[in-house]
Amino acid sequence: MEMINVIIDGHSYSVKKGATILEACKSVGIEIPTLCYLKEINEIGACRLCVVEVKGARSLVAACVYPIDREGTEILTHSPAVQASRKATLELLLSQHDKKCLSCVKSGDCEFQKLCRDYGVEDEHKYDGETPVYDIDTSMPHLIRDNNKCVLCRRCVAACDKNQEVAVIGANERGFKTHIGQAFELNLNNVACIGCGQCITVCPTGALMERDDTEKVWAALADPTKHVVVHAAPSIRVTLGECFDMPIGSVVTGKMVAALRRLGFAKVFDTNFTADLTIMEEAHELIERVKNGGKLPMITSCSPGWVKFCEHYFPDMIDNMSSCKSPQQMMGAVIKTYYAEKMGLDPKDIFVVSVMPCTAKKFEIGRDDQAAAGVPDTDVAITTRELARMIKRAGINFTALPDEEFDSPMGLGSGAGTIFGATGGVMEAALRTAVYWLTGSNPEKVEFEEVRGTAGIKEATYNVAGVEVKVAVCSGTANAKKLLNMVRSGEKDYTFIEIMGCPGGCVNGGGQPTQPASVRNFVDLKALRAAALYEDDKNLPVRLSHENEDIKTIYKEYFGEPGSHKAHEYLHTSYVARPKVQY
């Protein structure tokens, strides 16, 4: 790496040649504030929060896009001119802002709020004048957009366009009237938004938030006629701690269970159990398709953002998707059938809450064909962030909680279920079980390293009992589009594909804790959270779905065999082609 000598705030440093001022300063321990900048996807230098002085330059420059390629460059990062400029920018942004910090759900985590505080913006009404007032878009089950709190950084637009290639949002109008919206001012539910929530996780303000369903949960918990059951997805155990200032990648399974119990849930189950159930059904479906000439490649169906993407953008490939319900919906189905029968409960009196990394799960619970007992499989899906808010409101000291165990009979999950939360995890879990079914013995090594890692598209070929199995794993719908176009054209040919709607999989889902750009731009969140899942898998006593004793029991007592008629009726579903625009 070629280095270059620079002077920053009067001190000499050696930094990477060609690095931006932002990166160079970060490398020597100086943090420059940003608002619009998101590494690789939104490097537009537009908000001017990151301005610095460079000796010889005619005006302040944007540190996020200004490369250092001149020996001896002199930079001032917090001179009076720099501070005055940043403060004025914040004051101007505030002049159009709906300043509701007391009630705003983002308060405390808001990057804009923090910047105003850091820069001593005391007179928040300095430039008050005519202010556009926007309707709040509440048309989608997963997201609320309040443009009155938008600072027009366009991070959401970049996430939707570059990471997801869905591109249903953009800047409408010009000048003072500029706002984020859809083409022709349609509501979000009238365009092909896939509900992934990637726009929410990058928004620095409260302009984009998940629809908060916690009041429904509080109401159910207070209703004595309801038996309220909760289950938490694999990735929640490695992300929830971030909401309580624990390091990224902390495994908090036991504390999470303890907190859920203290909130008042009658039973706390583990979605890892139905991740294992999904593997049993999906691996069986794959083997059937291979043996009987079914539609290949088979594609996983546990990510509802991906499923909706397929329905909108690749309707010709709907039959490639596995018919398995997602683990969230399988859990709801078995709670309201198997568990209800075991406990002598009427499914109508059971209220199922899922804690999910994903905003698209809020859409999934309302899909057709998701009601095994004649009532919705899942009543409410909340995100990691919503659960954290409930724990905080209840005054539970999360970090001081003791570790507690999940309840039985759906509280036992294998390591294969745990790794569902990372891209490649479903594939690896399925391979562990498929090898057993095809060869009669477990794989010598349960780790399938080839499908691990955060690369957008991964491929591998395995020889299982003389059968060549070509697999691909991809995450983020921009990568899905690339991969499926290659499959469509015949350029690529696979047996089995795992697709997750969010880049990196559920660990980076739209419902996960938000991290500010100052972290997001310099830390690989996906990798740290995924590493925690793989560590959790390594430490679990059972690492293969078919060895989960509770899974064996549910088949023995209830479903018979994977793929049985009853399993199909309760655990499988169907899909529908959807238009791109609906007027």
Contact footprint for ligand SF4 (CB under 6 A): 97, 99-101, 104, 106-107, 110, 112-113, 143, 149-156, 159-160, 164, 166, 168-169, 180, 193-199, 202-208
Report the residue number, 150 or 350, with the smaller CB distance to ligand SF4. 150
Report the residue number, 33 or 195, with the smaller CB distance to ligand SF4. 195
* Best CA proximity match to 36, nearest among 22, 15, 54, 25: 22
H/E stretch holding 528? helix 525-539
Q: How many residues does the chain have?
A: 583
| Distance of closest approach, residue 89 Cβ to ligand SF4, in angstroms | 14
Report the residue number, 207 or 484, with the smaller CB distance to ligand SF4. 207
Report the residue number, 511 or 563, with the smaller CB distance to ligand SF4. 511
Report the residue number, 267 or 362, with the smaller CB distance to ligand SF4. 362
Pairwise CA distance, residues 120 & 29, whole Å: 22
Pairwise CA distance, residues 322 & 284, whole Å: 11
Strands 467-475 and 457-464, by their bridges, are: antiparallel
Pairwise CA distance, residues 474 & 456, whole Å: 5
End-to-end CA distance of the chain, in Å? Answer: 54
Report the residue number, 77 or 359, with the smaller CB distance to ligand SF4. 359
| Distance of closest approach, residue 300 Cβ to ligand SF4, in angstroms | 19
Pairwise CA distance, residues 522 & 532, whole Å: 19
Question: Is the alpha carbon torsion for 114, 120, 126, 127 positive or negative?
Answer: negative
| Distance of closest approach, residue 21 Cβ to ligand SF4, in angstroms | 23
* Best CA proximity match to 277, nearest among 338, 198, 357, 211: 338
Report the residue number, 164 or 328, with the smaller CB distance to ligand SF4. 164
DSSP label of 407? P
Report the residue number, 195 or 424, with the smaller CB distance to ligand SF4. 195
**364 token code pair:** 């999934």
SS3 of residue 132 by DSSP: coil
| Distance of closest approach, residue 197 Cβ to ligand SF4, in angstroms | 5
| Distance of closest approach, residue 359 Cβ to ligand SF4, in angstroms | 7
| Distance of closest approach, residue 206 Cβ to ligand SF4, in angstroms | 4
| Other CB atoms within 10 Å distance of the CB of residue 79 | 14
Residues 6+ apart with CB under 8 A from 221: 228, 263, 264, 265
| Distance of closest approach, residue 405 Cβ to ligand SF4, in angstroms | 35
Report the residue number, 165 or 447, with the smaller CB distance to ligand SF4. 165
Residues 6+ apart with CB under 8 A from 506: 233, 234, 235, 303, 357, 358, 420, 421, 422, 500, 512
Report the residue number, 116 or 260, with the smaller CB distance to ligand SF4. 116
| Distance of closest approach, residue 104 Cβ to ligand SF4, in angstroms | 3
Residues 6+ apart with CB under 8 A from 88: none
DSSP label of 517? H
Report the residue number, 173 or 569, with the smaller CB distance to ligand SF4. 173
Report the residue number, 193 or 286, with the smaller CB distance to ligand SF4. 193
Q: Are 269 and 420 in contact (CB under 8 A)?
A: no
| Distance of closest approach, residue 146 Cβ to ligand SF4, in angstroms | 8
* Best CA proximity match to 480, nearest among 156, 200, 165, 160: 165
Q: Are 204 and 112 in contact (CB under 8 A)?
A: yes
Report the residue number, 28 or 171, with the smaller CB distance to ligand SF4. 171
Q: Are 471 and 425 in contact (CB under 8 A)?
A: no
Pairwise CA distance, residues 582 & 466, whole Å: 48
Pairwise CA distance, residues 328 & 303, whole Å: 10
| Distance of closest approach, residue 545 Cβ to ligand SF4, in angstroms | 30
| Distance of closest approach, residue 188 Cβ to ligand SF4, in angstroms | 6
Q: Are 329 and 281 in contact (CB under 8 A)?
A: no
**Side-by-side strand order, sheet with 61-62:** 11-16, 3-8, 73-76, 51-54, 61-62
| Distance of closest approach, residue 508 Cβ to ligand SF4, in angstroms | 12
| Distance of closest approach, residue 403 Cβ to ligand SF4, in angstroms | 34
β partners of residue 181? 170
